[in-house]
């Protein structure tokens, strides 16, 4: 077991429609368990598609338009992610009719859930809602249902989204991380000092945690 005087702070900048975010988090979780690292995780909002309209866009078309990937490359990426997810205990359930949506409301809901000590649980539930169950995270009713399933009050969740009470707070947090140079996710900051970008793999995260433990000893 890794002995630390206080839990390791881990800040994760992420979007719930980012497949590599859930892969990276799952890899990190395995590394944390393997090293016995006492930790506290703080999630922060990042929108992959802040300008996307409410109707969203077909996922395949979106990937082609944004990244220039061919359909063959996109299908290969889905296959790779599905295999990676299976090995990490997360189920990707891709389909040709999947859509990409803006996630600003989802991030507001997570921000509120943090005040109820359920932010991490809601983050995981939203990943599963999008990638496993293919639910529409742009639909307020879907977000409220996921919140209720996570143990949050559905009436309050709906009110949070309808009155947009946390919109300014979320915008400020998003802006802060952009100002720190974050342009893609996942981005993980260890101990408020060490930035690691992308899904690095369980072995690399394990190595990072061990290095941090030695530095702290």
E strands, 24-123, in order: 39-45, 57-58, 99-100
Q: What is the pLDDT of residue 5?
A: 66
Name the pLDDT band for 66 (thresholds 50, 70, 90): confident
For the chain, give the mean pLDDT: 94
The dihedral built from the CA positions of residue 136, 109, 54 and 199, taken in this order, carries a sign that is negative
pLDDT in tens, 169-192: 999 999 999 999 999 999 999 999
Mapping DSSP onto H, E and C, the string for 114-152 reads: HHCCCHHHHHHHHHHHHHCCCCCCCCHHHHHHHHHHHCC
Please say if the pLDDT value at position 161 is more than 90.
yes
Structural domains for the chain: 8-216 (3.40.30.10)
Average pLDDT over residues 114-130: 97
């Amino acid at each position: 077991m890794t002995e630390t005087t206080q839990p390791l702070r881990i800040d994760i900048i992420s979007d719930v429609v980012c497949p590599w975010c859930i892969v990276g988090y799952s890899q990190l979780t395995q590394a944390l368990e393997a090293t016995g690292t006492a930790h506290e995780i703080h999630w922060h909002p990042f929108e992959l598609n802040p300008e996307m309209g409410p109707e969203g866009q077909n996922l395949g078309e979106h990937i082609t338009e944004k990244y220039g990937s061919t359909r063959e490359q996109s299908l290969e990426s889905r296959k790779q992610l599905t295999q990676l997810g299976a090995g990490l205990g997360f189920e990707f359930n891709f389909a040709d009719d999947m859509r990409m949506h803006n996630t600003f409301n989802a991030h507001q809901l997570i921000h509120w859930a943090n005040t109820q000590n359920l932010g991490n649980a809601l983050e995981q539930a939203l990943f599963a809602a999008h990638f496993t169950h293919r639910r529409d995270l742009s639909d307020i009713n879907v977000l409220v249902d996921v919140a209720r399933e996570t143990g949050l009050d559905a009436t309050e969740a709906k009110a949070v989204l309808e009155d947009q009470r946390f919109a300014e707070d979320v915008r400020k947090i998003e802006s802060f991380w952009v100002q720190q140079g974050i342009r893609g996710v996942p981005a993980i900051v260890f101990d408020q000092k060490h930035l690691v970008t992308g899904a690095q793999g369980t072995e690399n995260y394990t190595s990072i945690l061990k290095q941090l433990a030695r530095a702290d000893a």
